[in-house]
Amino acid sequence: MGCSVIKTVLALALAAGMAAGSAHGASLSFSNANSLTPISQDGILDLFDANIGTLHKVRLTLSGTGNSTFVLNNTSGSGQTVTASSVILMYFSSSLPSLNTTLDVLMPALQMQASTGPVSLDAGMGARIGPVISSATLTLDTLTPGLFAQAGGGNFTIYCENSDDRQLAGGNSTVTLGLVTQAGCGATVEYDYTPRASPIPEPTSMALLGLGMAGLLATVRRRKRGG
């Protein structure tokens, strides 16, 4: 009985807060661990439940992480100084056709760059450098709120894939470059909304609730005295 009354009080407090019409925010996200490229990953995010309020703004942040390991080999009979670099390109798509219209423009959406910096290689010698960490994010904040809201909520999927690019500066074509990359993607969606107003309890209902709480307290006191 006590728990039931307490839950009712908390529910009424929440209703009063929602009736005030103050702005609220909710954030949902997923993140995938790095794996050997090329990757094919995805994650699920919730849609906004239009039954709980009015959605005003949506921010979708796309994120990517990567690491690159460079394998250099100097095949010449003299020392060489080279700089190796990599670019991990991340492509995103969605189960929401309307969102894909925006994502299709971002091809690729993210570019994660890594570099060895200048490396000196003695004649006939090689070097393994890495993993060199890279990351990138992109926030989309001009999305149409109605595309992410529906009665009862639901969810949508974000998909990501990648491609790699490599470059080697210096070495007079006598230095070979091997590259091993890993990558992972993630996304965060943020909803700014105003909760739907709930009816404020009538004075009579509040009075009855007060009497119920008083009766509960009196019962608890009697039990303590009887113990």
- Residue 12 has a pLDDT of 29
CB atoms within 10 A of CB 167: 12
Distance, CA of 134 to CA of 204 (rounded, Å): 62
On whether residue 76 sits in a domain, the answer given is yes
- Residue 196 has a pLDDT of 85
Which of 119, 33, 137, 131 lies closest to 86, judged by CA?
131
- E strands in 47-121: 48-49, 53-74, 80-94, 110-121
Per residue in 44-72, pLDDT tens? 999 999 999 999 999 999 999 999 999 99
On whether residue 187 sits in a domain, the answer given is yes
Range of the domain at 174: 24-197
Distance, CA of 24 to CA of 193 (rounded, Å): 5
Which of 40, 58, 62, 32 lies closest to 159, judged by CA?
40
- Residue 172 has a pLDDT of 82
Q: How far apart are the first and last CA of the chain?
A: 19
On whether residue 139 sits in a domain, the answer given is yes
* Contact between 15 and 201 (Cβ < 8 Å): yes
What percentage of the chain's residues is helix, strand, coil (to nearest 5)? 25, 55, 20
**Alpha-carbon dihedral of residues 31, 37, 38, 41, nearest 10 degrees?**
-20
On whether residue 203 sits in a domain, the answer given is no
Distance, CA of 140 to CA of 185 (rounded, Å): 16
The count of domains in the chain is: 1
On whether residue 5 sits in a domain, the answer given is no
Higher-pLDDT residue of 212 and 86 is 86
On whether residue 208 sits in a domain, the answer given is no
- Residue 13 has a pLDDT of 32
- Residue 225 has a pLDDT of 58
On whether residue 89 sits in a domain, the answer given is yes
> What value does the mean pLDDT of the chain take?
83
- Indicate whether 107 pLDDT > 80: yes
Per residue in 136-180, pLDDT tens? 999 999 999 999 999 999 999 999 999 999 999 998 889 999 999
On whether residue 174 sits in a domain, the answer given is yes
